[in-house]
Structure 1
Amino acid sequence: MQTRIGVIGGSGLYQISGLENAEWLTVETPWGMPSDQILTGRLYGVEMAFLPRHGRGHVHSPSDVNYRANIDALKRLGVTDIIAVSACGSFREELAPGDFVIVDQYIDRTFAREKSFFGTGCVGHVSLAHPTCPRLSEACFAAATAEGLRVHRGGTYLAMEGPQFSTLAESRLYREVWGCDVIGMTGMPEAKLAREAEICYASVAMITDYDSWHPDHGEVDISQIIATLGGNADHARGLISRLPALLGATRAPCPHGCDRALEHAIMTAPERRDPAVLAKLDAVAGRMLGASA
Protein backbone atom coordinates (compact mmCIF):
# COMPACT_ATOMS: atom_id res chain seq x y z
CA MET A 1 0.00 0.00 0.00
CA GLN A 2 1.23 3.48 -0.80
CA THR A 3 1.77 5.76 2.18
CA ARG A 4 -0.07 9.05 2.10
CA ILE A 5 0.49 11.24 5.14
CA GLY A 6 -2.29 13.57 6.19
CA VAL A 7 -1.45 16.48 8.47
CA ILE A 8 -4.18 18.37 10.29
CA GLY A 9 -2.74 21.69 11.38
CA GLY A 10 -4.00 23.34 14.53
CA SER A 11 -3.79 26.92 15.79
CA GLY A 12 -0.74 28.61 14.29
CA LEU A 13 -0.13 25.94 11.67
CA TYR A 14 -2.05 26.92 8.55
CA GLN A 15 0.33 25.73 5.83
CA ILE A 16 3.45 23.68 5.21
CA SER A 17 6.20 24.32 2.72
CA GLY A 18 8.52 22.24 0.59
CA LEU A 19 5.90 20.13 -1.20
CA GLU A 20 6.61 19.17 -4.80
CA ASN A 21 3.71 19.76 -7.21
CA ALA A 22 1.82 21.53 -4.44
CA GLU A 23 -1.85 22.17 -5.15
CA TRP A 24 -4.79 23.29 -3.04
CA LEU A 25 -7.74 20.98 -3.80
CA THR A 26 -11.42 21.44 -3.08
CA VAL A 27 -12.86 18.18 -1.76
CA GLU A 28 -16.62 17.79 -1.38
CA THR A 29 -18.04 15.24 1.07
CA PRO A 30 -21.52 13.96 2.00
CA TRP A 31 -20.97 15.56 5.42
CA GLY A 32 -20.48 19.07 4.07
CA MET A 33 -17.34 21.01 3.25
CA PRO A 34 -14.06 20.53 5.13
CA SER A 35 -12.48 23.40 7.06
CA ASP A 36 -10.60 24.54 3.96
CA GLN A 37 -9.11 23.29 0.73
CA ILE A 38 -6.49 20.58 1.17
CA LEU A 39 -2.88 21.16 0.15
CA THR A 40 -1.51 18.11 -1.66
CA GLY A 41 1.91 17.24 -3.04
CA ARG A 42 4.98 15.10 -2.40
CA LEU A 43 7.58 15.53 0.32
CA TYR A 44 10.79 13.56 -0.09
CA GLY A 45 9.01 11.09 -2.34
CA VAL A 46 5.98 10.53 -0.09
CA GLU A 47 2.46 11.74 -0.86
CA MET A 48 1.21 14.40 1.57
CA ALA A 49 -2.11 16.12 2.26
CA PHE A 50 -2.35 19.11 4.60
CA LEU A 51 -5.59 20.47 6.05
CA PRO A 52 -5.69 23.55 8.31
CA ARG A 53 -8.22 22.53 10.94
CA HIS A 54 -9.48 26.06 11.59
CA GLY A 55 -9.11 27.17 7.98
CA ARG A 56 -6.54 29.62 6.68
CA GLY A 57 -6.95 32.79 8.67
CA HIS A 58 -8.43 30.81 11.59
CA VAL A 59 -12.09 31.21 10.67
CA HIS A 60 -13.60 28.15 12.44
CA SER A 61 -14.01 27.85 16.20
CA PRO A 62 -13.39 24.41 17.76
CA SER A 63 -17.13 23.71 18.06
CA ASP A 64 -17.79 24.76 14.46
CA VAL A 65 -15.10 22.63 12.79
CA ASN A 66 -16.73 20.05 10.53
CA TYR A 67 -14.73 17.10 11.86
CA ARG A 68 -16.66 14.51 9.86
CA ALA A 69 -16.08 16.35 6.58
CA ASN A 70 -12.38 16.78 7.41
CA ILE A 71 -11.77 13.08 8.05
CA ASP A 72 -13.96 11.99 5.12
CA ALA A 73 -12.09 14.32 2.75
CA LEU A 74 -8.70 12.96 3.83
CA LYS A 75 -9.98 9.41 3.41
CA ARG A 76 -11.20 10.25 -0.11
CA LEU A 77 -7.70 11.47 -0.95
CA GLY A 78 -6.23 8.13 0.09
CA VAL A 79 -4.64 9.27 3.35
CA THR A 80 -3.33 6.29 5.35
CA ASP A 81 -1.81 8.12 8.33
CA ILE A 82 -3.03 11.29 10.05
CA ILE A 83 -0.77 13.43 12.23
CA ALA A 84 -2.96 15.86 14.14
CA VAL A 85 -1.13 18.89 15.50
CA SER A 86 -2.85 21.05 18.10
CA ALA A 87 -2.10 23.82 20.58
CA CYS A 88 -2.69 22.70 24.17
CA GLY A 89 -2.44 23.84 27.75
CA SER A 90 -0.38 21.87 30.25
CA PHE A 91 -1.36 20.39 33.61
CA ARG A 92 2.20 19.35 34.48
CA GLU A 93 5.13 21.49 35.56
CA GLU A 94 7.47 19.40 33.43
CA LEU A 95 5.34 19.93 30.30
CA ALA A 96 6.42 23.51 29.72
CA PRO A 97 5.34 26.00 27.06
CA GLY A 98 7.28 25.20 23.89
CA ASP A 99 7.36 21.46 24.65
CA PHE A 100 5.66 18.81 22.53
CA VAL A 101 3.64 15.86 23.85
CA ILE A 102 2.76 12.75 21.86
CA VAL A 103 -0.74 12.12 23.19
CA ASP A 104 -1.96 8.54 23.66
CA GLN A 105 -5.22 8.90 25.65
CA TYR A 106 -8.25 11.19 25.79
CA ILE A 107 -11.07 12.20 28.09
CA ASP A 108 -13.84 13.65 25.95
CA ARG A 109 -15.79 16.50 27.56
CA THR A 110 -17.15 17.94 24.32
CA PHE A 111 -20.93 18.01 23.89
CA ALA A 112 -21.88 20.15 20.86
CA ARG A 113 -20.35 18.10 18.04
CA GLU A 114 -21.27 15.24 15.75
CA LYS A 115 -19.05 12.40 16.96
CA SER A 116 -19.70 9.51 14.61
CA PHE A 117 -20.23 8.66 10.97
CA PHE A 118 -22.63 5.93 12.09
CA GLY A 119 -26.16 6.12 13.46
CA THR A 120 -29.75 5.25 12.64
CA GLY A 121 -29.74 3.23 9.44
CA CYS A 122 -26.24 1.83 9.96
CA VAL A 123 -24.96 1.39 13.51
CA GLY A 124 -21.27 0.90 14.19
CA HIS A 125 -19.16 0.59 17.35
CA VAL A 126 -15.36 0.81 17.04
CA SER A 127 -12.87 0.17 19.83
CA LEU A 128 -11.21 3.26 21.32
CA ALA A 129 -9.32 1.67 24.20
CA HIS A 130 -6.16 2.88 22.50
CA PRO A 131 -7.34 5.88 20.44
CA THR A 132 -4.01 6.68 18.80
CA CYS A 133 -1.78 4.45 16.68
CA PRO A 134 1.36 3.35 18.58
CA ARG A 135 3.35 2.89 15.36
CA LEU A 136 2.54 6.35 14.06
CA SER A 137 2.96 7.95 17.49
CA GLU A 138 6.42 6.43 17.80
CA ALA A 139 7.35 7.86 14.40
CA CYS A 140 6.24 11.31 15.59
CA PHE A 141 8.30 10.94 18.76
CA ALA A 142 11.34 9.91 16.72
CA ALA A 143 10.83 12.85 14.33
CA ALA A 144 10.55 15.33 17.20
CA THR A 145 13.65 13.90 18.87
CA ALA A 146 15.63 14.09 15.63
CA GLU A 147 14.49 17.69 15.21
CA GLY A 148 15.95 18.49 18.64
CA LEU A 149 12.61 19.29 20.26
CA ARG A 150 11.79 18.83 23.91
CA VAL A 151 9.22 16.05 23.49
CA HIS A 152 7.37 13.78 25.92
CA ARG A 153 6.12 10.30 25.04
CA GLY A 154 2.52 9.70 26.13
CA GLY A 155 -0.09 11.84 27.85
CA THR A 156 -3.83 12.15 28.48
CA TYR A 157 -5.61 14.91 26.58
CA LEU A 158 -8.71 16.50 28.13
CA ALA A 159 -10.91 17.61 25.22
CA MET A 160 -13.09 20.53 26.31
CA GLU A 161 -15.85 22.19 24.30
CA GLY A 162 -14.61 25.77 24.50
CA PRO A 163 -14.28 28.31 23.08
CA GLN A 164 -13.67 29.74 26.54
CA PHE A 165 -10.69 28.50 28.55
CA SER A 166 -11.11 26.56 31.82
CA THR A 167 -12.21 27.95 35.14
CA LEU A 168 -9.69 27.49 37.95
CA ALA A 169 -11.94 24.84 39.51
CA GLU A 170 -12.12 22.90 36.24
CA SER A 171 -8.38 23.13 35.74
CA ARG A 172 -7.75 21.72 39.22
CA LEU A 173 -10.29 18.94 38.67
CA TYR A 174 -8.73 17.84 35.39
CA ARG A 175 -5.21 17.98 36.82
CA GLU A 176 -5.55 16.75 40.39
CA VAL A 177 -8.52 14.39 40.30
CA TRP A 178 -8.66 13.09 36.74
CA GLY A 179 -4.91 12.98 36.18
CA CYS A 180 -4.92 14.65 32.76
CA ASP A 181 -1.70 15.96 31.24
CA VAL A 182 -2.82 18.42 28.57
CA ILE A 183 -6.01 20.23 27.61
CA GLY A 184 -7.28 21.27 24.19
CA MET A 185 -10.45 21.87 22.21
CA THR A 186 -10.03 19.82 19.03
CA GLY A 187 -8.74 16.32 19.81
CA MET A 188 -12.26 14.95 19.98
CA PRO A 189 -14.17 13.80 18.03
CA GLU A 190 -11.33 13.91 15.52
CA ALA A 191 -9.57 10.82 16.90
CA LYS A 192 -12.85 8.89 17.09
CA LEU A 193 -13.72 9.68 13.49
CA ALA A 194 -10.27 8.71 12.24
CA ARG A 195 -10.69 5.32 13.89
CA GLU A 196 -14.11 4.87 12.27
CA ALA A 197 -12.54 5.76 8.92
CA GLU A 198 -9.80 3.15 9.50
CA ILE A 199 -7.00 5.71 9.33
CA CYS A 200 -3.99 5.51 11.65
CA TYR A 201 -3.99 8.62 13.86
CA ALA A 202 -1.33 10.28 16.02
CA SER A 203 -1.74 13.40 18.11
CA VAL A 204 1.04 15.94 18.62
CA ALA A 205 0.26 18.52 21.30
CA MET A 206 2.17 21.80 21.21
CA ILE A 207 2.23 23.27 24.73
CA THR A 208 1.43 26.99 24.83
CA ASP A 209 0.52 27.66 28.48
CA TYR A 210 -0.23 26.16 31.91
CA ASP A 211 -4.02 26.54 31.69
CA SER A 212 -5.16 28.28 34.91
CA TRP A 213 -3.95 25.93 37.68
CA HIS A 214 -0.34 27.11 37.96
CA PRO A 215 0.18 29.52 40.90
CA ASP A 216 3.00 31.36 39.14
CA HIS A 217 1.22 31.84 35.83
CA GLY A 218 -2.40 32.64 36.69
CA GLU A 219 -5.07 32.67 34.02
CA VAL A 220 -4.44 31.88 30.37
CA ASP A 221 -2.94 34.85 28.54
CA ILE A 222 -3.86 34.82 24.85
CA SER A 223 -0.92 37.09 23.98
CA GLN A 224 1.43 34.54 25.56
CA ILE A 225 -0.23 31.75 23.57
CA ILE A 226 0.16 33.63 20.29
CA ALA A 227 3.82 34.32 21.01
CA THR A 228 4.50 30.66 21.77
CA LEU A 229 2.55 29.44 18.73
CA GLY A 230 4.96 31.03 16.29
CA GLY A 231 7.94 29.04 17.50
CA ASN A 232 5.90 25.89 17.95
CA ALA A 233 4.57 26.04 14.39
CA ASP A 234 8.09 26.25 12.97
CA HIS A 235 9.14 23.28 15.10
CA ALA A 236 6.05 21.34 13.99
CA ARG A 237 7.00 21.90 10.35
CA GLY A 238 10.44 20.49 11.11
CA LEU A 239 8.87 17.44 12.74
CA ILE A 240 6.59 16.91 9.75
CA SER A 241 9.50 17.15 7.31
CA ARG A 242 11.16 14.15 8.98
CA LEU A 243 8.15 11.84 8.79
CA PRO A 244 8.49 10.70 5.14
CA ALA A 245 11.89 9.15 5.85
CA LEU A 246 10.54 7.42 8.95
CA LEU A 247 7.31 6.12 7.42
CA GLY A 248 8.51 5.33 3.90
CA ALA A 249 6.68 5.52 0.58
CA THR A 250 4.96 2.15 1.07
CA ARG A 251 3.56 0.52 4.16
CA ALA A 252 2.36 -2.81 5.45
CA PRO A 253 -0.96 -3.26 7.23
CA CYS A 254 -1.02 -1.49 10.58
CA PRO A 255 0.27 -3.92 13.24
CA HIS A 256 -2.26 -2.50 15.69
CA GLY A 257 -5.27 -2.92 13.40
CA CYS A 258 -6.18 0.74 12.96
CA ASP A 259 -6.78 0.14 9.26
CA ARG A 260 -9.13 -2.76 10.06
CA ALA A 261 -11.14 -1.12 12.83
CA LEU A 262 -14.50 -1.78 11.18
CA GLU A 263 -14.13 -5.51 10.65
CA HIS A 264 -16.34 -6.38 13.64
CA ALA A 265 -17.89 -2.96 14.27
CA ILE A 266 -20.96 -2.71 12.00
CA MET A 267 -24.00 -4.07 13.81
CA THR A 268 -26.95 -3.36 11.50
CA ALA A 269 -28.02 -6.35 9.43
CA PRO A 270 -27.33 -5.85 5.71
CA GLU A 271 -31.01 -5.99 4.79
CA ARG A 272 -31.87 -3.29 7.38
CA ARG A 273 -29.25 -0.76 6.31
CA ASP A 274 -30.53 2.55 4.99
CA PRO A 275 -29.27 3.09 1.41
CA ALA A 276 -29.07 6.83 1.97
CA VAL A 277 -26.80 6.33 4.98
CA LEU A 278 -24.69 3.80 3.09
CA ALA A 279 -24.18 6.33 0.29
CA LYS A 280 -22.72 8.81 2.80
CA LEU A 281 -20.41 6.10 4.16
CA ASP A 282 -18.92 5.26 0.77
CA ALA A 283 -15.45 6.59 1.61
CA VAL A 284 -15.05 5.94 5.32
CA ALA A 285 -16.64 2.48 5.40
CA GLY A 286 -16.80 1.39 1.78
CA ARG A 287 -14.22 -1.35 2.35
CA MET A 288 -16.54 -3.18 4.76
CA LEU A 289 -19.94 -2.17 3.44
CA GLY A 290 -19.00 -3.17 -0.08
CA ALA A 291 -17.82 -6.55 1.13
CA SER A 292 -21.00 -7.26 3.09
CA ALA A 293 -23.61 -5.66 0.83
Structure 2
Amino acid sequence: MITRIAERLFPSGRGRALPGAVAPGDPLAEASELVVRLGGREVLAGVSLTARAGEVLALVGPNGAGKSTLLAALAADLPADEGVVRVCGRPTTAWPARELALRRAMLPQSAALSFPFAVEDVVRMGRAPWAGTALEDDDDRIVREAMASTEVGEFAARPFSALSGGERARVALARVLAQRAPLLLLDEPTAALDLRHQELVLRVCRERAAAGDAVVVVLHDLGLAGAYADRVAVLRGGVVAAEGAPAGVFTGELLTEVYRQPVEVFPHPRTGAPVVAPVRG
Protein backbone atom coordinates (compact mmCIF):
# COMPACT_ATOMS: atom_id res chain seq x y z
CA MET A 1 0.00 0.00 0.00
CA ILE A 2 2.83 2.42 0.83
CA THR A 3 4.34 1.85 -2.62
CA ARG A 4 1.00 2.60 -4.30
CA ILE A 5 0.69 5.82 -2.28
CA ALA A 6 4.20 6.85 -3.35
CA GLU A 7 3.35 6.21 -6.99
CA ARG A 8 0.23 8.38 -6.75
CA LEU A 9 2.00 11.22 -4.97
CA PHE A 10 5.20 11.23 -7.00
CA PRO A 11 4.74 9.55 -10.40
CA SER A 12 7.55 9.10 -12.93
CA GLY A 13 10.27 8.85 -10.32
CA ARG A 14 12.97 7.57 -12.63
CA GLY A 15 15.19 10.18 -14.20
CA ARG A 16 14.37 12.98 -11.78
CA ALA A 17 17.18 15.34 -10.75
CA LEU A 18 18.47 14.54 -7.27
CA PRO A 19 19.61 17.34 -4.94
CA GLY A 20 23.21 18.40 -5.49
CA ALA A 21 25.92 18.99 -2.94
CA VAL A 22 25.23 21.66 -0.33
CA ALA A 23 28.01 23.73 1.26
CA PRO A 24 27.80 25.24 4.77
CA GLY A 25 26.16 28.64 4.59
CA ASP A 26 24.35 28.02 1.32
CA PRO A 27 20.87 29.60 1.34
CA LEU A 28 18.37 26.74 1.16
CA ALA A 29 15.23 28.80 1.81
CA GLU A 30 14.75 32.50 1.12
CA ALA A 31 11.73 34.72 1.61
CA SER A 32 11.97 38.11 -0.06
CA GLU A 33 9.42 40.82 0.81
CA LEU A 34 6.89 38.07 1.45
CA VAL A 35 3.25 39.06 1.86
CA VAL A 36 0.56 36.47 2.69
CA ARG A 37 -3.12 37.32 3.20
CA LEU A 38 -5.58 34.91 4.78
CA GLY A 39 -9.27 35.62 5.11
CA GLY A 40 -8.74 39.20 4.03
CA ARG A 41 -6.13 39.80 6.73
CA GLU A 42 -2.47 40.46 6.01
CA VAL A 43 -0.73 37.77 8.09
CA LEU A 44 2.77 38.39 6.74
CA ALA A 45 3.68 41.95 5.77
CA GLY A 46 6.90 42.07 3.76
CA VAL A 47 9.00 39.42 5.52
CA SER A 48 12.53 38.76 4.28
CA LEU A 49 14.42 35.83 5.82
CA THR A 50 17.07 33.29 4.82
CA ALA A 51 17.71 29.80 6.17
CA ARG A 52 21.22 28.52 5.53
CA ALA A 53 22.79 25.08 5.39
CA GLY A 54 24.41 24.06 8.65
CA GLU A 55 22.24 26.14 10.98
CA VAL A 56 19.16 25.94 13.15
CA LEU A 57 16.90 28.96 12.70
CA ALA A 58 14.14 29.32 15.32
CA LEU A 59 10.98 31.31 14.62
CA VAL A 60 9.53 32.69 17.85
CA GLY A 61 6.87 35.19 18.78
CA PRO A 62 3.40 35.44 20.34
CA ASN A 63 0.31 33.68 19.05
CA GLY A 64 -0.84 35.14 15.75
CA ALA A 65 2.55 36.65 14.90
CA GLY A 66 2.78 34.72 11.60
CA LYS A 67 5.26 31.98 12.50
CA SER A 68 3.32 29.01 11.14
CA THR A 69 2.22 31.01 8.10
CA LEU A 70 5.84 31.86 7.31
CA LEU A 71 6.87 28.21 7.67
CA ALA A 72 4.03 27.06 5.40
CA ALA A 73 5.02 29.67 2.82
CA LEU A 74 8.65 28.48 2.91
CA ALA A 75 7.35 24.96 2.31
CA ALA A 76 5.23 26.16 -0.65
CA ASP A 77 2.12 24.95 1.16
CA LEU A 78 0.78 28.53 1.12
CA PRO A 79 1.12 30.79 -1.93
CA ALA A 80 2.63 34.24 -1.63
CA ASP A 81 0.36 37.17 -2.44
CA GLU A 82 3.45 39.32 -2.96
CA GLY A 83 7.17 38.68 -2.89
CA VAL A 84 8.93 35.40 -3.63
CA VAL A 85 10.03 32.28 -1.81
CA ARG A 86 13.03 30.33 -3.08
CA VAL A 87 14.14 26.83 -2.16
CA CYS A 88 17.63 25.80 -3.20
CA GLY A 89 17.92 28.93 -5.32
CA ARG A 90 14.73 28.54 -7.37
CA PRO A 91 11.27 30.00 -6.76
CA THR A 92 9.05 27.39 -5.18
CA THR A 93 6.59 27.85 -8.04
CA ALA A 94 9.29 26.63 -10.46
CA TRP A 95 9.78 23.27 -8.71
CA PRO A 96 7.63 20.29 -9.72
CA ALA A 97 6.10 18.76 -6.57
CA ARG A 98 8.25 15.63 -6.75
CA GLU A 99 11.45 17.68 -7.08
CA LEU A 100 10.49 20.01 -4.25
CA ALA A 101 9.84 17.01 -1.99
CA LEU A 102 13.45 15.90 -2.45
CA ARG A 103 14.66 19.28 -1.20
CA ARG A 104 12.36 20.28 1.65
CA ALA A 105 10.47 18.34 4.28
CA MET A 106 7.63 19.88 6.29
CA LEU A 107 6.36 18.85 9.73
CA PRO A 108 2.95 20.43 10.42
CA GLN A 109 1.61 21.10 13.90
CA SER A 110 -0.64 18.05 13.92
CA ALA A 111 -0.55 14.68 12.20
CA ALA A 112 -3.75 12.80 11.32
CA LEU A 113 -4.22 9.64 9.27
CA SER A 114 -7.48 8.11 8.07
CA PHE A 115 -6.16 4.55 7.84
CA PRO A 116 -4.70 2.38 10.64
CA PHE A 117 -1.14 2.37 9.33
CA ALA A 118 1.59 0.83 11.45
CA VAL A 119 4.20 3.22 12.80
CA GLU A 120 6.91 1.87 10.51
CA ASP A 121 4.67 2.38 7.47
CA VAL A 122 4.02 5.98 8.49
CA VAL A 123 7.75 6.64 8.74
CA ARG A 124 8.29 4.91 5.40
CA MET A 125 5.95 7.43 3.77
CA GLY A 126 8.82 9.88 4.09
CA ARG A 127 10.70 7.85 1.49
CA ALA A 128 7.98 8.31 -1.14
CA PRO A 129 9.83 11.05 -3.07
CA TRP A 130 12.80 8.72 -3.55
CA ALA A 131 10.78 5.96 -5.24
CA GLY A 132 12.39 5.04 -8.54
CA THR A 133 15.69 6.82 -7.80
CA ALA A 134 19.14 5.35 -7.33
CA LEU A 135 18.79 5.85 -3.56
CA GLU A 136 15.59 3.83 -3.18
CA ASP A 137 17.63 0.83 -2.02
CA ASP A 138 18.55 2.77 1.15
CA ASP A 139 14.93 2.98 2.30
CA ASP A 140 15.04 0.24 4.93
CA ARG A 141 18.21 1.56 6.57
CA ILE A 142 17.04 5.17 6.57
CA VAL A 143 13.64 4.27 8.05
CA ARG A 144 15.36 2.32 10.86
CA GLU A 145 17.71 5.22 11.55
CA ALA A 146 14.87 7.75 11.64
CA MET A 147 12.88 5.63 14.10
CA ALA A 148 15.94 5.11 16.29
CA SER A 149 16.78 8.82 16.42
CA THR A 150 13.25 9.69 17.61
CA GLU A 151 12.95 6.64 19.91
CA VAL A 152 9.91 5.13 18.23
CA GLY A 153 11.45 1.87 17.05
CA GLU A 154 10.04 -0.11 19.99
CA PHE A 155 6.49 0.38 18.75
CA ALA A 156 7.18 0.12 15.01
CA ALA A 157 4.38 -2.42 14.54
CA ARG A 158 1.73 -0.58 16.56
CA PRO A 159 -1.07 1.31 14.75
CA PHE A 160 -0.38 5.02 14.53
CA SER A 161 -3.93 5.68 15.73
CA ALA A 162 -3.21 3.86 19.02
CA LEU A 163 -0.37 6.17 20.03
CA SER A 164 -0.42 9.05 22.50
CA GLY A 165 -0.12 12.61 21.23
CA GLY A 166 3.56 12.79 22.10
CA GLU A 167 4.29 9.45 20.45
CA ARG A 168 2.50 10.54 17.29
CA ALA A 169 4.56 13.73 17.24
CA ARG A 170 7.79 11.74 17.36
CA VAL A 171 6.61 9.37 14.61
CA ALA A 172 5.71 12.37 12.45
CA LEU A 173 9.20 13.76 13.00
CA ALA A 174 10.71 10.40 12.07
CA ARG A 175 8.78 10.53 8.80
CA VAL A 176 10.26 13.95 8.06
CA LEU A 177 13.77 12.75 8.91
CA ALA A 178 13.33 9.72 6.64
CA GLN A 179 12.63 12.08 3.75
CA ARG A 180 16.30 13.15 3.92
CA ALA A 181 15.68 16.58 2.44
CA PRO A 182 18.39 19.20 3.06
CA LEU A 183 15.77 21.72 4.28
CA LEU A 184 13.71 20.77 7.35
CA LEU A 185 10.70 22.91 8.30
CA LEU A 186 9.29 21.97 11.71
CA ASP A 187 6.18 23.59 13.16
CA GLU A 188 6.13 23.36 16.97
CA PRO A 189 7.71 19.88 17.09
CA THR A 190 8.02 19.98 20.89
CA ALA A 191 4.47 21.12 21.74
CA ALA A 192 3.15 17.68 22.79
CA LEU A 193 6.36 16.33 24.27
CA ASP A 194 7.68 15.78 27.77
CA LEU A 195 10.95 17.30 28.94
CA ARG A 196 13.13 14.38 27.83
CA HIS A 197 11.71 14.29 24.34
CA GLN A 198 11.75 18.06 23.91
CA GLU A 199 15.50 17.89 24.44
CA LEU A 200 15.72 14.88 22.13
CA VAL A 201 14.00 16.73 19.29
CA LEU A 202 16.23 19.78 19.59
CA ARG A 203 19.34 17.59 19.73
CA VAL A 204 18.15 15.96 16.50
CA CYS A 205 17.79 19.45 15.00
CA ARG A 206 21.36 20.25 15.96
CA GLU A 207 22.60 16.93 14.55
CA ARG A 208 20.88 17.60 11.22
CA ALA A 209 22.41 21.08 11.07
CA ALA A 210 25.84 19.63 11.88
CA ALA A 211 25.34 17.22 8.98
CA GLY A 212 24.74 20.19 6.66
CA ASP A 213 20.97 20.60 6.64
CA ALA A 214 19.10 23.86 7.19
CA VAL A 215 16.56 23.52 9.99
CA VAL A 216 13.78 26.07 10.50
CA VAL A 217 11.77 25.38 13.65
CA VAL A 218 8.82 27.20 15.20
CA LEU A 219 9.16 27.25 18.99
CA HIS A 220 7.19 28.74 21.84
CA ASP A 221 9.78 27.77 24.44
CA LEU A 222 12.30 30.62 24.38
CA GLY A 223 14.66 28.62 26.58
CA LEU A 224 14.92 25.89 23.95
CA ALA A 225 15.42 28.49 21.23
CA GLY A 226 18.16 30.18 23.25
CA ALA A 227 19.93 26.91 23.97
CA TYR A 228 19.80 25.23 20.56
CA ALA A 229 19.30 27.80 17.77
CA ASP A 230 22.13 29.44 15.85
CA ARG A 231 19.78 32.28 14.90
CA VAL A 232 16.36 33.37 16.03
CA ALA A 233 13.78 35.50 14.23
CA VAL A 234 11.28 37.20 16.51
CA LEU A 235 7.98 37.79 14.70
CA ARG A 236 5.37 40.30 15.76
CA GLY A 237 2.30 41.32 13.81
CA GLY A 238 3.48 39.68 10.60
CA VAL A 239 6.93 41.28 10.50
CA VAL A 240 10.36 40.31 11.80
CA ALA A 241 10.96 42.47 14.86
CA ALA A 242 14.51 41.20 15.38
CA GLU A 243 16.86 38.58 13.95
CA GLY A 244 20.25 37.28 14.97
CA ALA A 245 22.05 35.11 17.51
CA PRO A 246 19.89 34.39 20.58
CA ALA A 247 22.35 36.07 22.96
CA GLY A 248 22.02 39.32 21.03
CA VAL A 249 18.32 39.21 20.21
CA PHE A 250 16.84 37.96 23.47
CA THR A 251 16.77 41.04 25.66
CA GLY A 252 14.31 41.76 28.42
CA GLU A 253 13.28 45.01 26.76
CA LEU A 254 12.50 43.48 23.36
CA LEU A 255 10.73 40.38 24.65
CA THR A 256 8.70 42.36 27.16
CA GLU A 257 7.49 44.58 24.32
CA VAL A 258 6.82 41.76 21.86
CA TYR A 259 5.03 39.43 24.28
CA ARG A 260 3.38 42.20 26.32
CA GLN A 261 4.57 40.40 29.43
CA PRO A 262 7.45 41.52 31.67
CA VAL A 263 10.34 39.10 31.29
CA GLU A 264 13.91 38.94 32.45
CA VAL A 265 16.82 37.42 30.55
CA PHE A 266 20.00 36.13 32.18
CA PRO A 267 22.85 33.87 31.05
CA HIS A 268 22.79 30.21 32.02
CA PRO A 269 25.42 29.75 34.74
CA ARG A 270 27.15 26.89 32.92
CA THR A 271 26.55 27.38 29.17
CA GLY A 272 26.00 31.13 28.97
CA ALA A 273 22.92 30.59 26.76
CA PRO A 274 20.15 33.12 27.38
CA VAL A 275 17.49 31.98 29.83
CA VAL A 276 14.13 33.74 29.60
CA ALA A 277 11.70 33.86 32.51
CA PRO A 278 8.56 35.90 33.22
CA VAL A 279 8.81 38.46 35.99
CA ARG A 280 6.74 37.15 38.89
CA GLY A 281 5.85 38.37 42.34
TM-score by length of 2: 0.30
Name the structure with the higher helix share: 2
TM-score by length of 1: 0.29
Name the structure with the higher strand share: 2
